[in-house]
Structure 1
Amino acid sequence: MVEAASGPDGGVVDQVLRSRLTTARLERGAVLLDRSGSGRRVRIPLTAIETVRPRGASARRGIEIVLTAGPGESDPAVYRLRPSSATAAAAFADTVNSALPVRDAAERRRSGRVSVTQEPKPARARRPGRARSPWVWLGGLFALGACLGAASGAWGLVLVWAASFPVFCVGFVLTRLVWLATEDWWLLRRRGITVVATYERTDYGRDSDGDSTYTKVYVFEDGGGARREHRGGGRRVGTDPERIEVTYDPVAEDRVSARYGLVARALMCLAYVVLGLPVCLLTAAYPVVLLSATIAASPYP
């Protein structure tokens, strides 16, 4: 879907292409990429773009934003978008291409990677009174179960609902953590870039119990030349200085994962299968089973 806004002089000042998990905006001489859930915005100046082209023979499979390639750079950076509408993708590509600066075919290019920057995504304006916190939805679910039980006269189920709901809330939090871990793993597997990060420092602090803690900080440069950090450990691939392999998401600055040894990965996989997935299934089944039992106990047809 493409949305466009016009200025007072009738010129297009902002055009939006909504694709799967990513929103692209043509605005003020740059293409802005907002990745859902990342909290970061990628800014690609028009001067850093070589062309926007369809993936394959048509825009049905989406489009690619191809950056300019500098001297000695054989593979320019590419950002891929796949909206549901091929027409919208083609229209967005045509608009961006028409806004690109005119270049001679033999003109020497500067690498577009160095011009790409990341910045915090502007906070969205919330509608007054619109609840977004998951705890508000949990409160509504609790009230729904209690009201259904009271209306049906199943006071025993109401007591069970009230007594077990805190456990459900804990399961909800754990399910959310499992979901976020799964999302990170999937996205890094699909589009992650693996580099070597170098140890820089150790940050010291204290936990809630007052015990001393320390966290190793490793640094690396992403494809755009920006400095990024990984806090934590990982399997060492070199010493003096200490180095580890990390995989980062070029779209989300805070999505970075270190590569661990075989034993550590096996233990994490075992915990995911034995603990994480059962907790998610039980959490999802809990409200369905109890609410169904409450409705079944109702004397009303």
Structure 2
Amino acid sequence: MIVLQQDGLRRRIPLAAVAEVRNGGRRQASLEIDLRTDESAGTGAVRYELEARSGMTVDLFVEAVTAALPAAHIARPVGDGAELVVEEPDPLAVQRTEAQRRKSRRFMTVFAVCLVLWVAGLVTVVVAGRPMGDGSDPLGYWVVGTMPLLIGGGLTTWVVFIVRGWVVRRRRGVGVVAVFERSGHRHRVFVFTDAAGERHEYLANRTIRTIAEDPPRIQLIHDPLGKVGAEPHESLAYIIARCTFYLVIGLPLLAGGLHAVPYQLFRALFPVE
């Protein structure tokens, strides 16, 4: 029995349904599985293709399956192998999809609330419509100060997530080895499987240090509860330097944005004559 997890489906393929397996990769290793077909029916053979991380692993798999095919064909002769394939939803893929939907809903809710508050504040400032005693214009402050507020708030929030992730991984993180899968436009994609059997991807820059080659592998610290993402080991000095860099840029922008947006709204609502 061959079990494939692909495209959100789990396919169970008996060996009797398989006509041939081979390594179809040229530049990158890939596994191709052709099902048996009834030539009299005039239908084409069904083929499943999967990208692989290691050509050696594919070759060993192909050798093992090919050796077992003759006995499987004799024990269970079939015409159309596709009839024996059982497809069912991949429960892990369903869980990942649902988690992504929940995250998307939370993001859209937060975005909508922030947008409504910003528009409400803008309308309030426009309605107030009068310069302050020092000659400053609250509407101008509101429009100009929005971008520094967003950037400064984003950088400061990012620092909070960096520190939280580092603390969580330091307390309960476990070491895992991620294996190179493919190259993206700017990143290298590594994958690993946790204790629950769920597959995870990690986007690494091209300069990341590997612990082994063929295929390239890296070591990550993974949170078993999945509250924070996996990252390579980071020292306290590195975390301090990284957070300081972000805060040096983010805090002045945040302070200027707070002065330009909420503080000006307060002055527009409660002017001091």
TM value normalised by structure 1: 0.44
**Higher-helix-fraction structure:** 2
Q: Which has the higher contact order (CA 8 A, sep 6+)?
A: 2
Largest Rg, 1 or 2: 2
**Higher-strand-fraction structure:** 1
